[in-house]
Amino acid sequence: MTFNPQNSVVWTEIPVSDMDKATAFYEAVFGYDLKLLTQGPNPMALIPSKGAAEGGFGRLFPRKFGHLYPGKGAGDGRGTTLHLAIPDTVEQAIARCEQAGGTVLSPVISSPSGRFVYALDLDGNSIGLYEPAP
């Protein structure tokens, strides 16, 4: 049996040790307006995305979404890398990342789909600052 879903990534979770500081970091670096939800067993700061979800989460979550949650980050950048869209250029995002306390790990990398850098958030989680090609 071959399974070929429309969206193979259902959601992403980024563990953070301080929800307020991490929310401020992601809002500063990526320009997001994170929505804090406290209905479940853990608080979650939702990373915005367009599109309605299917199933029981449809009223709360977009189709493809991610969130911050209380947990222990990778600490050393060895976890899975989550590449997130930025609102402008990689160079501008690098400056915001460093100013917000993150660490940029690579030079700018170009690919056919766009440009990005590898970085670490405040908890050492591996993230990509991604600028799509025009």
Q: Which CATH number is 15's domain given?
A: 3.10.180.10
Per DSSP, the residues of 49-114 read -SSBPPGGGGGT-BSSEEEEEES---SSS-S--EEEE-SS-HHHHHHHHHHTT-EE-S--EEETTE
Let me know if residue 3 belongs to a domain: no
Q: Which residues contact 23 (CB under 8 A, 6 or more apart)?
A: 34, 36, 45, 68
Let me know if residue 5 belongs to a domain: no
Question: How is residue 126 written in tokens?
Answer: 């591996």
What total number of domains does the chain contain? 1
Let me know if residue 2 belongs to a domain: no
Per-residue pLDDT of the chain (134 residues; tens, 9 = 90+): 776 666 666 678 899 999 999 999 999 999 999 989 888 788 889 888 776 444 444 445 444 578 888 888 877 767 788 888 899 999 999 999 999 999 999 999 998 889 999 999 999 999 999 998 88
Let me know if residue 38 belongs to a domain: yes
pTM of the model: 0.79
Residue 74 domain boundaries:
11-132
Let me know if residue 69 belongs to a domain: yes
Let me know if residue 4 belongs to a domain: no
